[in-house]
């Protein structure tokens, strides 16, 4: 009898894998019904599993966040099964510092990581990362793709600046997007990682790096279901990070005549403090971008989002087919936001809403279904939240708060502000306002935006006389939050030194 069950399980694994690898309506229906009838023998693990899904450089240009054009049916499907945070914010709008922050539950001034190409233990050697916490609690911790920093696309297929202590197993997918780099269009020939660049690719989804990552995740979920393994599975997709590479069919979803570059007034830059102005003009090749190129960049970005969404869908299908979704907490997010011409800027590294806001969706046992959270969230909250959801005590050094109560009852407000920093600037976001100070006590400039009347943050109210009471109140709140975020983490050794390593992104 035992041998028979093993044979059935193996046959089921092959069937599901084939269905997800080559999705068609008939294949999908067959795999769903077959899976439903054959996985009944899989026992639910005692503690919930964690499936951590993250895209790279993804803003909130997503259908379930109200975008009128971008098609993301699988992210939307996850939102219908869980809680969506409309106001979730990263703590540093750059890949390396942000990822170090949410993986440790610490602010950038606590990790001491303020730029890319840093290994976290160079500065905080005895920190316990979130996946390490689960690993120590008996979970199998696996990383597929980019969780800690990678230079993209240069380090695709390698471990990047990963932390090996955080995982039992790591998988570094490498697809044809690496082989096709000589075909990629770039504003700076041969430069891709930090430059607007894109390619409508030949071939299938499964041949791309993120397609391979999805296939690896599907296989692992099948293995976990058979072995009844408690898992912390982190899948980091590289898209929509530049270069925006996706199969041609995704580009066809976004006709150029339906797209438009955001309009920016001629004298806009003069309304900003010098550091803010610098943050949106530092990439000289992207200043005053030709609108004909701009819409092509937007098309490519949207195509990459829809391509990434399709890979997420394959993973979610496998989670359902194996019956693991009943006992798995799924979290979907991005490392930071992104500009696509807003404020005249392209890409990240600003203290505007476009770069600091991230999508955040959580679904699973004891989480409300199809609701939007009233609370603001910070990415440092992910660590204590996931620990709380499975009943693991987080270490005392973490700076975030648990959002568990807000997941059970999304009307609960647990945070009323979020802190984001970039270089020498700090920004606080409340439900209504964004307030930013550059330099010591705002000595290099201040910004105030009222989202009730100015959701695009185009009108700086900091110098307006009738806003001084609001300015003073938010300044006090910001300074309080900054002081908290700079507090040395309990029990963590901080190594202060000037880390001058530079790794080309290409």
- What CATH number does the domain containing 91 carry? 3.40.720.10
**Residue-averaged pLDDT of the chain:** 92
The four Cα atoms 313, 318, 320, 322 give a dihedral, to 10 degrees, of 180
pLDDT of 3: 36
| Structural contact between residues 89 and 420, judged by C-beta atoms closer than 8 angstroms | yes
What's the burial of 220, exposed, middle or buried (CB within 10 Å: 0-12/13-18/19+)?
buried
485 lies in a domain?
Answer: no
What pLDDT sits at residue 506? 57
DSSP 144-169: EE-SS---TTTTTTS-TT--GGG-SE
C-alpha distance from residue 467 to each of 86, 271, 273, 475, 480 (Å): 26, 16, 17, 12, 20
The pLDDT assigned to 8 comes to 39
- Partners of 372 in beta bridges: 84
Burial class (CB in 10 A: 0-12, 13-18, 19+), 309: buried
> So what's the pLDDT on residue 499?
86
Question: Residue 42 above 50 pLDDT?
Answer: no
Q: Is 398 exposed, middle or buried (0-12, 13-18, 19+ CB in 10 A)?
A: buried
Predicted local confidence at residue 20, as pLDDT: 52
User: Full-prediction pTM beyond 0.75?
Assistant: yes
Confidence of residue 22 (pLDDT cuts 50, 70, 90): low
What integer pLDDT is reported at residue 505 of this predicted model? Answer: 56
Mean pLDDT of 50-62: 98
Domain extent, residue 146, equals: 47-416
Task: Tell me if 443 is assigned to some domain.
Answer: no
Average pLDDT over residues 147-171: 96
Residue 470 in any domain: the answer is: no
pLDDT, average across residues 66-81: 98
Residue-wise pLDDT for 411-463, tens only, equals: 999 999 999 999 999 999 999 999 999 999 999 999 999 999 999 999 999 99
Instruction: Give the Cα separation of 168 and 186 in Å (integer).
Output: 37
Residue 79 lies in a domain: yes
Number of structural domains the chain divides into: 1
Look at residue 183 in the predicted model and tell me its pLDDT.
97
Convert the pLDDT of each residue in 297-321 to its tens digit: 999 999 999 999 999 999 999 999 9
CB 156 within 8 A of CB 185: no
In a domain, 64, yes or no: yes
Burial of 490 (0-12, 13-18, 19+ CB in 10 A): exposed
Mean pLDDT of 261-265: 95
pLDDT recorded at residue 21? 53
* Averaged pLDDT for residues 237-254: 98
Least confident of 2-6, 121-125, 252-256, 432-436: 2-6
In a domain, 162, yes or no: yes
- How much of the chain exceeds pLDDT 70, in percent? 90
What's the pLDDT tens digit per position in 187-235? Answer: 999 999 899 999 999 999 999 999 999 999 999 999 999 999 999 999 9
- The yes-or-no verdict on residue 261 having pLDDT over 70 is yes
pLDDT of 30: 41
C-beta separation of 23 from 314 below 8 A: yes
**What pLDDT score does 43 carry?**
41
Q: Is the pLDDT of residue 336 over 90?
A: yes
Nearest-CA neighbor of 408 among 380, 383, 371, 440? 371
Q: Is 443 exposed, middle or buried (0-12, 13-18, 19+ CB in 10 A)?
A: exposed
For residue 22, is it within any domain?
Answer: no
Which tens digit of pLDDT belongs to each residue from 497-506? 998 877 765 5
pLDDT in tens, 360-406: 999 999 999 999 999 999 999 999 999 999 999 999 999 999 999 99
Poorest-confidence range of 19-33, 45-59, 130-144, 149-163?
19-33
Residue (of 336, 305, 293) closest to 196 by Cα position: 293
Q: What is the pLDDT of residue 46?
A: 77
**pLDDT for 502:** 76
pLDDT at 6 over 80: no
pLDDT at 500: 86
What integer pLDDT is reported at residue 388 of this predicted model? Answer: 98
23 — pLDDT class (breaks 50, 70, 90): low
Flag whether 11 is in a domain: no
Quick one: average pLDDT of 136-156? 96
């Amino acid at each position: 009898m035992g041998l028979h069950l093993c044979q059935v399980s193996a046959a089921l694994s092959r069937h599901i894998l084939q269905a997800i690898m080559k999705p068609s309506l008939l294949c999908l229906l067959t795999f769903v019904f077959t899976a439903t009838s054959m996985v009944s023998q899989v026992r639910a693990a005692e503690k919930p599993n964690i499936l951590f899904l993250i895209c790279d450089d993804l803003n909130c240009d997503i259908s379930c966040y109200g975008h009128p054009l971008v098609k993301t049916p699988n992210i939307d499907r996850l939102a219908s099964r869980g809680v969506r945070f409309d106001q979730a914010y990263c703590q540093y709008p750059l890949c390396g510092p942000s990822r170090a922050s949410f993986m440790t539950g610490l602010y950038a001034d606590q990790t001491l990581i303020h730029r890319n190409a840093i290994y976290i233990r160079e500065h905080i050697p005895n920190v316990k990362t979130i996946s390490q916490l689960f690993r120590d609690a008996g979970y199998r911790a696996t990383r597929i793709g980019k969780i800690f920093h990678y230079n993209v696309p240069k380090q695709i297929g390698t471990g990047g600046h990963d932390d090996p202590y955080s995982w039992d197993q790591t998988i570094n997918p490498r697809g044809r997007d690496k082989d096709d780099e000589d075909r990629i269009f770039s504003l700076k020939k041969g430069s891709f990682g930090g430059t607007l660049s894109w390619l409508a690719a030949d071939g299938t989804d499964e041949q791309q790096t993120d397609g391979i990552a999805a296939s690896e995740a599907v296989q692992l979920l099948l293995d976990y279901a058979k072995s009844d393994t408690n898992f912390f599975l982190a899948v980091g997709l590289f898209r929509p990070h530049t270069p925006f590479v996706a199969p041609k069919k995704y580009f066809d979803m976004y006709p150029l005549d339906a797209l438009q570059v955001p309009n920016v007034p001629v004298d806009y830059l003069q309304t900003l403090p010098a550091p803010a102005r610098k943050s949106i003009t530092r990439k000289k090749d992207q200043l005053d971008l030709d609108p004909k190129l701009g819409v092509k960049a937007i098309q490519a970005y949207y195509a990459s989002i829809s391509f990434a969404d399709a890979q997420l869908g394959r993973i979610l299908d496998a989670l359902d087919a194996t019956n693991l979704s009943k006992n798995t907490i799924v979290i979907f997010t991005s490392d930071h936001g992104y500009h696509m011409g807003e404020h005249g800027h392209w890409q990240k590294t600003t203290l505007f809403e476009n770069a600091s806001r991230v999508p955040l969706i959580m679904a699973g046992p004891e989480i409300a279904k199809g609701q939007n959270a009233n609370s603001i969230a910070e990415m440092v909250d992910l660590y204590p939240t996931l620990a709380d959801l499975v009943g693991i005590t987080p270490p005392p050094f973490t700076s975030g708060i648990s959002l568990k109560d807000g997941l059970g009852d999304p009307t609960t407000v647990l945070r009323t502000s979020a802190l984001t920093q970039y270089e020498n600037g700090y920004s606080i976001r409340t439900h209504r306002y964004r307030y930013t100070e550059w330099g010591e006590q705002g000595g290099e400039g201040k910004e105030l935006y009222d989202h009730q009347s100015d959701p695009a943050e185009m009108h700086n109210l900091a110098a307006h006389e009738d806003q001084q009471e609001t300015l003073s109140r938010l300044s006090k709140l910001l300074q309080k939050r900054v002081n908290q975020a700079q507090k040395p983490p309990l029990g963590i050794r901080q190594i202060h030194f000037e880390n001058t390593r530079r790794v080309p992104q290409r």
